Structure 1
């Protein structure tokens, strides 16, 4: 008889649960396209990318242009033929793969999805025209629903802090004549997850709508991807502002509302939600795998600290035997505060990384007796804070021009100037949201597009170009993180919850991002929290851990004795779990399975956990409960970490916190 062992860890809770996950390997290839003329004169194109992955597009002309996500290598295009078939029967078109069947009614323009045993998966996918009454009603409803969501404050610390934000509230959903809507009928029992960090109240989104537009401190990492508990999902392939209305406007319908552009989406089919996430990350890129040390503690000191303060902090971590792997420097490392330029330099009064007489000497190198080398000698890595406000399409278009032998633009590639700091020994970078998360309505991008198409995509290009610069220059993976994102960002770097602090809101971001194929997530763990000990308990079980002092003093030796002891305990516990954490990261980098796992992802048949946001699985075996003195145990046997007591599941337990 198979016995499942679980270990329960209850400060507000942590469990050990043995389970196996099977994940498919990546494949390369090219899809089979099938073009189907519809009665309304439009052309429906279906491409069977894999047995379980279909790309579906509509064109009024029959011409299908390359999307910017394809052009810049964000989504996979090299699919292999899989032998999909196309036949007509009773006036309908049937596209079949080994596993699934899509039946198209050209008169109605609808698609029905079944498996090859005839079991219904999706009753109807339809395409709604702007002239239809429901389109106008939905647009008006979304406009009202999201009218209050806007960037109403400037990014912390940036030069725009005292400038009022001009919110663009006129026509939140855009020009209705340009809008395109996909409708999907829903089964009564279906629940829906994903969407990135677009909700800070729920992880189960049926009955709500989600806004896919990267917005500072509101919806910083939208993912236009939604999963059904019934084992299917949709990735909406657009970079324009779009919305997922999941049974809110009409309880039995999902509406994908695109503010611009013809419908273009991937239908992802699987037996369970984990398979759908696997398919999504196959299309948009497998999650990033950090260097091993990236999963240790990253500590940011106070902005008034200089090189000697940081080195003393490093020594203190070692003397106190508190595991820590990374230091990063906030803007005080720069000669000019918030330097957006490509000619920045060290603040030699605080952090002389080279002798002042070698400022103009190249190539740069890691000086053996100065700050960076001394920090490395103590076993720490170093990262630098950066702010960016640049047209990143310049580098992307020059890369494409180089591939085809065309002339280059001659314009600056922003990330290239960072190689001098990499040569001096810098191991990674923190990418601030200033000003990439700001909107740029007046910018004329080098590639000819506007901010309507580029704003969301900028959130992907930023970590993409950071990764490519570091990798091409040094040949290894870097440690770099950013609080913005969009579809594909999970492939190019790691994320945080930005300036939203480390309290309950931060956990909602971790859960929703994990349900959207994002493996490496974190937050400013001890910032704006109501209980430092509870925040440590939660934060040290994030996929990666950062403590960002900024203007605070979050050094553990400055805390009261009880909090210092708690910090030491959790830092040591996390360090002891390193092989377990890195194994989960490896698993996630091949499948999209998050390290921090929302309960319905692991226990999809247990309806008690549908929208449970006070606990999560940390890897395969550990269950962490937070922000509550109760913990729900799914069916099985669990072991209390603190007492060794074996507990039978399928019930809620309580503990004194």
Structure 2
């Protein structure tokens, strides 16, 4: 029979219960609870980091004395009513079979049968050594350096994904102890997970981010270079660094200050202020044109300030739920070094001497935004630390709050800045948990900028995360190549002299080249960034995400796609090229894919860069900062393939939320090649009379005729068209 109820609930013979709730024909939530414990929302549900939006769907139910089978769309779930064990299939394709569910005093565990050829990817940044995890364990619990962004979400080669609905420490065993079994143990004490069914990783990521949030479009300047000054810098050194960036011709959009900007080192309080010695800024100078901040602004720089945080963010989360009274436990028990304090002589004295329960964390940051701060770097300090003796204002202990805290921090920062400025925020943090991709951009923390940081980024990209970077290794050719060819790019001097202009003649020249190359590439990056907000396909893509059926891509940890059309290789002289043709951006050589090949690059480059067959890559003019000049010139780099290729050049004001009201423009670009003809269509485009278009087209042979304004480069086998108008451009081939 069928019914309109999307939720099935049943008490089990052992006194426990099972609850199955369909959100749509591809997603269901499954909960098993032990005796005397009712199904409940997790902290992720409570605070809206998971937002269920059920679609109207009819559920078919078939029940016998021992089993119930529920069907919604293509997803079929069967439950053994004697033990509460669930199996799933997607139409005729088997997905998974639960074999055990166990409960103890402080945890719950579940096991599933593992199919011999099955493997799993996901889990975020909890390892940098692999993308596929069969034969390993995965520990999801935020910790400094080792595990900044663990996420209890994973995907199977069998066509399903699982999100464990918890903020507690969770340990996954992926056939490590038993070759035929996988599962997890959750300290929350219940079994609660979302099951997604789809044939590809891309579709599974889309389902996951549909539940936990898609990335939000940052301001355009976030895709320019960021330069972070030395911790010891004062206002004069900061302005001098800014001047040197401009004089050296190194495009840069942001200047950042490390902890030395504060009067008190690592000030956790809401009473922090500028260092009176390094950055003397009396209140009466706030609207003065002659502060170091206004000098930076006149040169086109944004300003970043470093932060550390141990504030109790749970009060604000409760306030947002319109619950003015926090939990009774938090009000009546005062904790200090793990023991309650005597309340006989006075009002309670809080062990937490930082938090103002009636004041959101962002409130005290508004004054710095008003001074000119454009973002705050949320250092890992304290947010990644455990607090085993702490009772938070919402009544949670650290067991539940530790992994949740990093999410609250990012969301409160994003929403606080947006509400105060009505500008798109940039949240910058090394830490995250389920749904972090909806609120934050990240760097890889205190792990440097070499090869192993890519493993962290690839694993977080598989969570639908796009805004990521590391601390560039500025004194290595390979590190420069890698650092400039990421979704975001930053140089962090920290406590050293990492200025590009002091790295010697050869490396300084490389910084100038790569920074200018990146500046020209921003129209491409920004357009694919907009696509990431719509589809959750990350801006930095593991090869296995784009070429899922190619097993040779599974263990590639030194290559990635930047957007759809650029293949970046780092630190190694051999690349695996997926099937298709790939053109060396440095030499112009074309290679056939489907194999691993040795690669070289020029002495003044730091790694490999290839264009994918079918590539459409818009290059803009070099700008020392975004908005320095109009985007009035676009060069399209085109590498025609056997299939039709399309690209959408995205433009808006780069700062405000007006794009959400339709104040933006998309210029479609289409390319099709046959044996006899190449057709390129541009437009319609905004400001057609003002913008100049030029083309650089990779071809196997020169065209039949080379007209006025065209030039053939035999060495690179490329045709340059000096001027192309919006509309259709046709080229006769041999």
The correspondence for 1:101, drawn from 52, 73, 76, is: 76
SS state of the match for residue 194, structure 2?
A: strand
Larger helix percent: 1
Give the Cα–Cα distance (whole angstroms) in 2 for the partners of residues 603 and 542 of structure 1: 20
- In the alignment, is the contact (CA less than 8 A) between 2:23 and 2:53 conserved in 1? no
The residue aligned with 1:399 is: 320
The correspondence for 1:297, drawn from 225, 229, 235, is: 225
The residue aligned with 1:186 is: 114
TM-score for the superposition, normalised by structure 2: 0.75
Structure 2: gaps of 5 or more residues: 332-355, 602-734
The residue aligned with 1:43 is: 17
Deviations 1:172-201 (A, max 9, x none): xxxx53221121222222221110110121
- In the alignment, is the contact (CA less than 8 A) between 2:418 and 2:425 conserved in 1? yes
The residue aligned with 1:278 is: 206
Deviations 1:346-403 (A, max 9, x none): 12332244xx2628xxxxx553332222211111100100111111101111222369
Residue 637 (structure 1) shift = 1.2
The correspondence for 2:272, drawn from 341, 344, 352, is: 344
- In the alignment, is the contact (CA less than 8 A) between 1:211 and 1:222 conserved in 2? yes
- Is structure 2 residue 353 aligned with structure 1 residue 378? no
Give the Cα–Cα distance (whole angstroms) in 1 for the partners of residues 181 and 443 of structure 2: 32
Residue 517 (structure 1) shift = 2.1
Give the Cα–Cα distance (whole angstroms) in 2 for the partners of residues 196 and 493 of structure 1: 14
The residue aligned with 2:531 is: 587
Give the Cα–Cα distance (whole angstroms) in 2 for the partners of residues 618 and 357 of structure 1: 44
The residue aligned with 2:626 is: none
Give the Cα–Cα distance (whole angstroms) in 1 for the partners of residues 436 and 108 of structure 2: 25
The correspondence for 1:86, drawn from 54, 61, 86, is: 61
SS state of the match for residue 313, structure 1?
A: helix
- In the alignment, is the contact (CA less than 8 A) between 2:100 and 2:112 conserved in 1? no
Deviations 1:454-476 (A, max 9, x none): 00111111111111111111112
- Rate the CA distance shift 1:410–1:544 in 2: closer, same or farther, 3 A: closer
- Is structure 2 residue 506 aligned with structure 1 residue 532? no
Residue 481 (structure 1) shift = 0.7
SS state of the match for residue 55, structure 1?
A: strand
Residue 100 (structure 1) shift = 1.3
Deviations 1:431-467 (A, max 9, x none): 1111111111111111111000000111111111111
- Rate the CA distance shift 1:88–1:397 in 2: closer, same or farther, 3 A: same
- Is structure 2 residue 186 aligned with structure 1 residue 265? no
- In the alignment, is the contact (CA less than 8 A) between 2:24 and 2:73 conserved in 1? no
Return the index of the structure with the highest Cα Rg: 2
The residue aligned with 1:213 is: 141
Moved beyond 4 Å, runs of 4+: 402-410
TM-score for the superposition, normalised by structure 1: 0.83
The residue aligned with 1:615 is: 559
Deviations 1:92-125 (A, max 9, x none): 2111111211111212422221123x22222x12
Give the Cα–Cα distance (whole angstroms) in 2 for the partners of residues 259 and 67 of structure 1: 12
- Is structure 2 residue 459 aligned with structure 1 residue 512? yes
Residue 39 (structure 1) shift = 3.6
- Is structure 2 residue 570 aligned with structure 1 residue 626? yes
SS state of the match for residue 605, structure 1?
A: coil
Give the Cα–Cα distance (whole angstroms) in 2 for the partners of residues 615 and 496 of structure 1: 18
- Is structure 2 residue 119 aligned with structure 1 residue 119? no
- In the alignment, is the contact (CA less than 8 A) between 2:327 and 2:395 conserved in 1? no
Give the Cα–Cα distance (whole angstroms) in 2 for the partners of residues 232 and 576 of structure 1: 39
- In the alignment, is the contact (CA less than 8 A) between 2:427 and 2:439 conserved in 1? no
- Rate the CA distance shift 1:600–1:311 in 2: closer, same or farther, 3 A: same
Structure 1: gaps of 5 or more residues: 1-29, 131-175, 360-364
- In the alignment, is the contact (CA less than 8 A) between 2:9 and 2:18 conserved in 1? yes
Residue 418 (structure 1) shift = 0.3
- Rate the CA distance shift 1:228–1:406 in 2: closer, same or farther, 3 A: closer
SS state of the match for residue 442, structure 1?
A: coil
Give the Cα–Cα distance (whole angstroms) in 2 for the partners of residues 31 and 632 of structure 1: 50
Give the Cα–Cα distance (whole angstroms) in 1 for the partners of residues 289 and 6 of structure 2: 57
- Is structure 2 residue 411 aligned with structure 1 residue 436? no
The residue aligned with 2:40 is: 65
The residue aligned with 1:415 is: 362
Give the Cα–Cα distance (whole angstroms) in 2 for the partners of residues 383 and 549 of structure 1: 14
**Within-5 A mapping of 1:129-168:** 129-130=102-103
- Rate the CA distance shift 1:367–1:33 in 2: closer, same or farther, 3 A: farther
Give the Cα–Cα distance (whole angstroms) in 2 for the partners of residues 236 and 492 of structure 1: 20
Question: Whose relative contact order is higher, 1 or 2, with alpha carbons under 8 Å and at least 6 apart?
Answer: 1
**Within-5 A mapping of 1:305-316:** 305-316=233-244
Residue 31 (structure 1) shift = 8.7
Residue 538 (structure 1) shift = 1.3
**Within-5 A mapping of 1:189-268:** 189-268=117-196
The residue aligned with 1:74 is: 49
- In the alignment, is the contact (CA less than 8 A) between 2:326 and 2:393 conserved in 1? no
The residue aligned with 2:550 is: 606
- In the alignment, is the contact (CA less than 8 A) between 2:469 and 2:489 conserved in 1? yes
**Within-5 A mapping of 1:536-551:** 536-551=480-495
The residue aligned with 1:358 is: 284
Give the Cα–Cα distance (whole angstroms) in 2 for the partners of residues 276 and 652 of structure 1: 29
Give the Cα–Cα distance (whole angstroms) in 2 for the partners of residues 501 and 453 of structure 1: 30
- Rate the CA distance shift 1:442–1:405 in 2: closer, same or farther, 3 A: closer
Residue 570 (structure 1) shift = 1.4
Q: What's the RMSD between the two structures over aligned residues?
A: 2.2
Deviations 1:139-189 (A, max 9, x none): xxxxxxxxxxxxxxxxxxxxxxxxxxxxxxxxxxxxx53221121222222
- Rate the CA distance shift 1:357–1:597 in 2: closer, same or farther, 3 A: closer
The residue aligned with 2:658 is: none
- In the alignment, is the contact (CA less than 8 A) between 1:226 and 1:235 conserved in 2? yes
- Rate the CA distance shift 1:53–1:341 in 2: closer, same or farther, 3 A: same
The residue aligned with 2:432 is: 485
- Rate the CA distance shift 1:276–1:31 in 2: closer, same or farther, 3 A: farther
- Rate the CA distance shift 1:184–1:405 in 2: closer, same or farther, 3 A: closer
- In the alignment, is the contact (CA less than 8 A) between 2:305 and 2:373 conserved in 1? yes
- In the alignment, is the contact (CA less than 8 A) between 1:31 and 1:79 conserved in 2? no
Residue 275 (structure 1) shift = 0.7
The residue aligned with 2:401 is: 454
The correspondence for 1:642, drawn from 561, 586, 590, is: 586
